[in-house]
């Protein structure tokens, strides 16, 4: 019965609403120890290349005054990569409200210029105009209020600061989408649930993607939140997309 209740909760959370924040925090806290393994396994390691492309779009400034936000930072893949940029003298602030995810990723940033913050994307504990740039990978669809989160990122960026979003999307090709949905809705939840021991988290994943705005709609909502020069491009036949906007 508990599993059934968890999976029903996953469906409700994916649709949004008041239950989403609690479900996401609890689910990601529970899967934190296996999160990296499953990310790479279930994406056939393609996710690593996607992250590299997203960081390239950020255009990291190596200067001492550069300050970057890694939003919904999870196990710190982006923070580790940014802080390892050759000659980087700035700082990265990694924010996530599931503390076990940050703890699981901590070895990646040992000795690096990364500050870990347990915090909410809707109420960032950062001063207005304090960040040179911001990036989020596979986390923006998990916030309980997308428009509020976009506006909050806009608030903390300096004028001209760049915001990069890497997120799953739905392939436009009917043929590609058929295979994608077969994998995403059946194989991925089964494998993810078996390895992690938390079926509901991997039931939530494809349903959250299905409920997330399509690429053009996300771009429009970024503009509505105050971003300019918004552009996007699809990756891997439309399985993921990168959006970029300027404060």
Burial class (CB in 10 A: 0-12, 13-18, 19+), 60: buried
Pick from 21-25, 37-41, 203-207: least confident:
37-41
The mean per-residue pLDDT over the stretch 187-204 comes to 86
CA dist 188 → 9, 35, 109, 139, 196 (Å): 18, 13, 29, 18, 12
Q: Which residue reads 């019965």 in tokens?
A: 1
Distance between CA 115 and CA 26 in Å, rounded?
A: 23
The residue that leads in pLDDT, 246 or 8, is: 246
Task: Point out which residues pair with 115 in neighbouring strands.
Answer: 93
For the cut 70, the answer to whether the pLDDT of residue 103 exceeds it is yes
For the cut 90, the answer to whether the pLDDT of residue 35 exceeds it is no
For the cut 50, the answer to whether the pLDDT of residue 219 exceeds it is yes
Q: Which residue reads 């120890």 in tokens?
A: 33
- pLDDT value at residue 4: 40
pLDDT band for 7, please (50, 70, 90 cuts): low
The residue that leads in pLDDT, 208 or 17, is: 208
CB 102 within 8 Å of CB 118: yes
Q: Provide φ and ψ at 12, rounded to 5°.
A: -65, -40
- pLDDT value at residue 5: 42
pLDDT averaged over every residue in the chain: 92
pTM of the model: 0.93
* Residue 172 domain boundaries: 2-246
Task: Point out which residues pair with 164 in neighbouring strands.
Answer: 135, 244
Outline where 91-187 has alpha helix (H).
99-105, 146-156, 174-182
Distance between CA 10 and CA 5 in Å, rounded?
A: 9
Number of domain units in the chain? 1
């Amino acid at each position: 019965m508990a599993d059934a209740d968890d999976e029903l909760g996953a469906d409700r959370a994916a649709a949004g609403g008041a239950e989403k924040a609690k479900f996401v925090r609890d689910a990601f806290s529970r899967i934190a120890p296996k999160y990296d393994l499953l990310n790479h396994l279930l994406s056939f390691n393609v996710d690593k290349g996607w992250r590299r492309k997203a960081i390239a779009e950020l255009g990291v400034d190596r200067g001492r005054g550069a300050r970057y936000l890694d939003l919904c930072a999870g196990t710190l893949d982006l923070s580790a990569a940014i802080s390892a940029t050759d000659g980087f003298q700035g700082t990265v602030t990694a924010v996530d409200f599931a503390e076990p995810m940050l703890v699981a990723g901590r070895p990646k940033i040992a000795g690096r210029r990364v500050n870990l913050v347990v915090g909410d994307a809707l109420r960032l504990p950062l001063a207005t105009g304090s960040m040179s740039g911001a990036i989020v990978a596979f986390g923006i669809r998990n916030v309980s209020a997308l428009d509020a989160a976009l506006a909050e990122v806009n608030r903390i960026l300096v004028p001209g600061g760049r915001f990069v979003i890497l997120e799953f999307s739905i392939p436009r090709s009917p043929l590609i989408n058929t295979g994608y949905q077969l994998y995403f809705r059946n194989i991925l939840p089964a494998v993810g649930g078996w390895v992690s021991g938390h079926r509901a988290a991997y039931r939530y994943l494809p349903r959250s993607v299905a409920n997330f705005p399509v690429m053009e709609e996300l771009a429009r909502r970024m503009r509505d939140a105050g971003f300019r020069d918004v552009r996007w491009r699809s990756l891997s036949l439309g399985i993921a997309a990168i959006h970029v906007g300027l404060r």
